[in-house]
Structure 1
Amino acid sequence: MINRRHIRIKTMQSVYALIQSNSDNLNKEEKFLTLSIDKMHELYALILSLLVEIQGLASNHIEISRKKHLASSDEKNPNTKFVDNQIINFLKESDSLNQYLEDKKLTNWKLDDEFVKLIWKLIQKSDTYKDYMKTKTSTFADDKKFLLNIYKEIIAPNDKLADYFEDQNISWVDDIPFVNTWIVRTINEIKSTKPFVLGKLYKDVDDEKFVLNLFRKVVLNHEKYDEDINEKTPNWDSERIADIDMILIKMAICEFLHFPSIPTRVSMNEYIEIAKDYSSQKSSFFINGVLDKILKEYTEAKRIKKIGRGLL
């Protein structure tokens, strides 16, 4: 499921797009924001279905080989360990995953099956696959370990697959690392005693509401925050401050003032870390310094009202 950091990143991108376009169409950008998050869930389901399609391709090859007129002994009695992988079978038999794929019309691997073939060939050539196939039986734990290894070693880092996802949806560029982590966590959590249920997009209703609440409050108040920021950066022309840095500072200010359940330290740390990925190392120090000054002023002026102990 999506975490608060990725929600903040998605919100940052939408705030940036709205400000850069000089648009006042808040509803349009809100729809784009929620759609881009929904699309991340689609990417998650699409990658899970890729595992099923790869297994299906392997199964088809076995059946074709068996039906050869002059099939060899190995072809007549193949090692079916991969096509019997219990983890992939759990995905294949999942009602929630199959229904989601159907509802969203995610037929990518039927239309673009060359990527299924590409990954399957890479898996077959790997030492991980060869070691796995040395025996004809395995435990649930063995099947899980194997699937995690081929995902981490072959599927997640594949550049051609990443390029394909980028072509399908531009917002997936930033989502791929997060979704890869989500997939690994999902595989790890599959249990032999329970059917697989597709992971939820949001942890709870609060997280779902947080997306639009944060976006709206930042956009509607960002000009008000300029004065406070300018006071704490007297040696800086506002135009010299990177746009992303300004947005991150304003988002943190917004959380200080309008989100009483989020500790100020959490807000500061989150935006400093985001700056390291989306701006620069120097930006993270700059943002930390500005927010620290603003937080002290707000605290002294009693502008910050947090619910619960230790939230300041």
Structure 2
Amino acid sequence: MLNRRLLRIKVMQSLYSYHQAVGADLLLAQDRIAAAFEPDLTAKEAPDRRLLEGQRKLGEAQLREWYKTGVQPEKTDDKAVDAALTDAIGYFEAQVKKDAAFFGGQLLAGAESIHDQYLHLLNLPAALLGVIEEEQSREERRRLGPREDALDANRLHQNAAIAKLMANEQLQDLTIRRKLAWEGAEEVEALRAAWQEMKADGPLREYLAAKPTDAPELDYDADMEILRTLYKDYVFKGEALPRQLESDDLNWEENRPIVRNLVLKTLKMLPHAADEKQELMNLSANWADDREFAETLYKQTLVEDDKMEKLIAGSVQNWDVERVALLDKIILKMALTEMQLFRGIPVKVTINEYIEISKLYSTPKSKQFVNGILDKLAQDLAASGDIRKSGRGLLDNQ
């Protein structure tokens, strides 16, 4: 299931993308000032290029100063410069607001897409059977009958575990509503390549060669075991399918353990006695709470950005805060926001989580840096009353 660490990572990624976009927005705002003072080559009188260049430089300098300090620039003696600056600032603020909303939406969509990936993969066996049937038909047409040495995949077509999965009413409903069937040309081609990998697999060949017994439950166990093997060895490992899944989703490597866990747990929930009404796995134990956690952490980290920047600057000795890596600053700001905002999460839990995230995503030295800054600031904020914990948040909070 989806856990809070992965949610924190997705918040971090969205914040990083947002800050990258803000940098681009500033350049675009600067371009608007430059465009305002481009020489008009169609004018009757020759433009004063030196004047225009001076106006452009003044406008751009004031924009950068405003961005750095947040202080509204004073009016100049040049109305054209003031107008261009007002336009650029208005444009920048509007774009930043759009970016904040966009990346916040992407954060939630990215998390929720994990559940779609899970459902999509539950549809894979049905699509695989279609690929196998297509291959068999093609071979028969080409040779006017089946090859004597052809692999007999009939037992896979009769696999009761696959049939039970395909008959699940919830899966059928969600597949239609969310369009999660395996239908794309690239997906089908990946399935064809994966089937070639599977055919060389010893356990699969043994399964296909074995005859069913007179004990339905034993046969079902064998059917389920080969289905688990196909998922483990050719979907979450292997070559063709992992490559396709990664090309479809840049975050596949990150999401893969969660999706794998959901798929394999679902197979455990489908014993021989299960019927078509068996409920599938949810994204998390309480997605409403987890969604609110991620959304609130993202929004509040943006709201508190300036405040957290000053806190970090005050705790970084002999080091210009602007030289701190952007990702490290985001990690620190998220952790500080979480400490103060979520009273039910112990401080030590927050610190440990962000240390682990820094180890995964930032520089080799980030672990010690993040640990040192958070440990110091946590003590300062607790002493000032800015960190107040309750309930579970009081655990290990001495």
Query: How far did 1:174 drift?
Result: 3.3
Cα shift readout 1:77-108 (whole Å, capped 9, x = no counterpart): 95633223333222211111122121122344
Distance 1:71 1:232 in 2: 75
Change (3 A) 1:265 1:140: farther
Q: CA deviation at 1:132?
A: 2.4
- After superposition, the C-alpha distances for 1:163-211 in whole angstroms (9 at most, x for unaligned) are 4334434444532343233323333343333344332224212112112
Q: Residue type matched to 2:342 in 1? A: F
Provide the secondary structure at the position in 2 that maps to 1:109: coil
Q: Which residue of 1 aligns with 2:20?
A: 20
- Residue pair 2:331, 2:358 contacting (<8 A) in 1 also: yes
When structure 1 is superposed on structure 2, of 94-103 and 57-66 the one drifting more is 57-66
**Aligned-partner SS, 2:279:** coil
**Inter-partner Cα distance in structure 1 for 2:198 and 2:147:** 23
Q: Within the alignment, does 1:80 sit opposite 2:154 as a pair?
A: yes
Q: Show the counterpart of 1:183.
A: 263
8 Å contact kept, 1:54–1:120: yes
1:121 to 148, 171, 196: 196
* Aligned-partner Cα distance in 2 for 1:284–1:84: 53
SS of alignment partner, residue 303 of structure 1: coil
Alignment-mate amino acid for residue 276 of structure 1: K
Instruction: Give the aligned residue type for 2:124.
Output: L
C-alpha distance in 2 between matches for 1:80 and 1:100: 28
Offset, 1:215:
0.8
**Structure 1 residues 42, 254: CA separation in 2 closer, same or farther (over 3 Å shift)?**
same
C-alpha distance in 1 between matches for 2:219 and 2:265 = 19
Query: What code does the residue aligned with 1:231 have?
Result: G
Structure 1 counterpart of 2:18, which letter? L
Structure (1 or 2) with the larger CA radius of gyration: 2
Is 1:151 paired with 2:224?
Answer: no
Q: Which range moves more in the overlay, 92-101 or 24-33?
A: 24-33
8 Å Cα contact 2:123/2:181 also seen in 1: no
Q: Note the 1:163-242 alignment, pairs <5 A.
A: 163-172=243-252, 174-195=254-275, 196-204=278-286, 205-242=288-325
Name 1:4's counterpart in structure 2: 4
Query: Within 2, Cα distance between the matches of 1:237 and 1:48?
Result: 51
Aligned partners of 2:374 and 2:224: how far apart in 1?
A: 45
- In the TM superposition, 1:285-304 aligns within 5 A as 285-304=368-387
State whether residues 50 and 109 of structure 1, in contact with CA within 8 Å, keep that contact through their aligned partners in structure 2.
no
The one-character-per-residue Cα deviations of 1:229-279 (angstroms, maximum 9, x if unpaired) are 222221332233221111111111111100111122221222111222211
Query: Which of 362, 370, 390 is the equivalent residue of 1:279?
Result: 362
Partner of 1:33: 107
What's the RMSD between the two structures over aligned residues? 2.8
Q: CA deviation at 1:34?
A: 1.8
> What residue in structure 2 maps to residue 54 of structure 1?
128
Percentage identity across aligned positions? 27
Which structure has more RCO (C-alpha within 8 Å, separation ≥ 6)? Answer: 1
Q: Is contact 1:80–1:136 with CA below 8 Å preserved after alignment?
A: no
> Is this contact kept in 2: 1:11–1:33, CA < 8 A?
yes
Partner of residue 133 from structure 1, selected from 188, 197, 208: 208
TM-score by structure 2 length? 0.70
**Alignment partner of 1:89 is 2:89:** no
Alignment-derived partner of residue 103 in structure 1? 177
* Secondary structure of the corresponding residue to residue 81 of structure 1: helix
- What is the distance in 2 between the residues matched to 1:71 and 1:132? 20
Give the superposition deviation at 1:60: 5.4
Q: What is the CA-CA distance between 1:155 and the residue it aligns to?
A: 1.8
Matched AA of 1:83: H
Cα deviation, 1:31-69, whole Å, max 9, x if unaligned, reads 222222222222222222112211333355567889986
CA distance in 1, matches of 2:237, 2:369: 33
Letter in 1 for 2:115: H
2-side partners of 1:18 and 1:79: how far apart?
50
What is the number of residues matched between the two proteins? 311
Whether the aligned pair in 2 keeps the contact of 1:62 and 1:78 (CA below 8 Å) is no
Question: Is residue 260–residue 307 contact of structure 1 (8 Å, CA) maintained in 2?
Answer: yes
Measure how far apart 1:74 and its partner are.
8.9
Letter in 2 for 1:197: E
153-162 vs 253-262, greater mean Cα deviation: 153-162
Partner of 2:332: 249
